[in-house]
Structure 1
Amino acid sequence: MKKLSSICLGILLFLGAILLSCSSDPAEEGIFETYDFKIEKAESLEDQLEMLTKAMRRFHNFKVAEAQGYVQVSPLVPGMGFHYAKPEYVDEKFEILKPEILVYHPDENGVMQFVAAEYLIPVENCDPEGDYTPPSDGFIGDLDHWHLNCIAGGWTLHAWVGLENEDGVFAPFNPALQ
């Protein structure tokens, strides 16, 4: 009987996952899985931003971020939102489809809305007065400007792929969220 109920539970969870992930977009299929897109195909900044936008679609459902291990690491930051980090992603590598932080802002009903992916390259013993070299890795081109944020623990870079930012996709703050 116990084995039968485990099988039934497994079938129900499987069917629920199918219903939640009905989409022909590979970035949304199986919303509780991690996807490895082919970065080699990105030949321009626009290609990279399109891939990131598609990969982040699953995180428009806040519960997916929580289920994948993102945990709240900041209060509501004006001009940004709440920051949720995935600790095992925090390392010294820039991986476009594995942002260390996801940024959410509550809508008028308090529902968390995905607004940005954020990258964090840690700096040991970070000192705001220190003389550190910004990461050399990042997006194609020279529009991405890393910011030293010792409160966050190192170099940060926002990519506003969930909410348009009139100041630019890589600006640290979004005036729409002031």
Structure 2
Amino acid sequence: MSQLTRRSLLRMLGASGAVAAGSGLASAHSEHSEARKQLAEVRRATRKYHDVRTAIADGYLTDNHCVSNPNGDGAMGFHYVNPELIDGNVDHLEPEVLVYEQRGGKRHLVAVEYLSTEPFTLFGHEAHPLHGEDPHYALHAWVWKGNPNGVLANFNPNVRCPSE
């Protein structure tokens, strides 16, 4: 990863949600059969990460900051980033970020996030730019918790940070 530090990357991920929260990222494309097939593949590939200890063992790091929606209801949750996966390539079976919600003293996998230094399209949807030190592009997929705003929306009104 370039000179971008883990902490600044995590701050940028949280701040990016505020920029894109109202941008209508709920995706009609997710209803497309190919996208549904790929999302099912993502669920199979990330099933093992329901145990956050497995995510940590596989190189995912967190700053233990829960990202709430500054413009409304809901949150993203806790981001666990694997810096080794952040490059110009995106593979739907290897998400760069795992997103967890804390409930009952335990972290529960709720979403994945794809992050790249280059623009990309996944599940028929273009990633949105993040504003920070270096250009990055991101796309969430709520594959483990339903999101009334759409499977590819940034924030989920059904997710809460512990302080809320």
Same fold (TM over 0.5): yes
- Pick aligned residue for 2:46 from 37, 45, 56: 56
* Structure 2 counterpart of 1:164, one-letter code: G
Q: Specify whether residues 74 and 62 from structure 1 end up closer, same or farther in structure 2 by C-alpha distance, changes over 3 A only.
A: closer
CA deviation after TM superposition for structure 1 residue 94, in Å: 1.3
Task: Say which one has the larger Rg.
Answer: 1
User: Retained in 2: the 8 A contact 1:73–1:85?
Assistant: no
Runs of 4+ in structure 1 deviating by more than 2 angstroms, as ranges, are 150-153
Q: Which residue of 2 aligns with 1:65?
A: 55
Equivalent runs, 1:1-178 vs 2, <5 Å: 44-73=34-63, 75-78=65-68, 79-107=75-103, 109-122=104-117, 135-139=119-123, 141=124, 144-151=125-132, 154-178=136-160
- Alignment partner of 1:63: what SS? helix
Q: Percent identity?
A: 38
- Alignment partner of 2:80: what SS? strand
User: Retained in 1: the 8 A contact 2:120–2:137?
Assistant: no
Tell me the distance in 1 between the aligned counterparts of 2:137 and 2:54: 26
CA deviation after TM superposition for structure 1 residue 174, in Å: 0.3
As a proportion of its length, which structure holds more strand?
Answer: 2
Tell me the distance in 2 between the aligned counterparts of 1:136 and 1:81: 23
TM (normalized to structure 1)? 0.63
User: Retained in 2: the 8 A contact 1:118–1:158?
Assistant: yes
CA deviation after TM superposition for structure 1 residue 175, in Å: 0.7
Tell me the distance in 2 between the aligned counterparts of 1:54 and 1:152: 34
User: Retained in 1: the 8 A contact 2:99–2:113?
Assistant: yes
Give structure 1 stretches of 5+ with no counterpart. 1-42, 124-134
TM (normalized to structure 2)? 0.68
Give structure 2 stretches of 5+ with no counterpart. 1-32, 69-74
CA deviation after TM superposition for structure 1 residue 136, in Å: 3.8
State how many pairs are aligned. 121
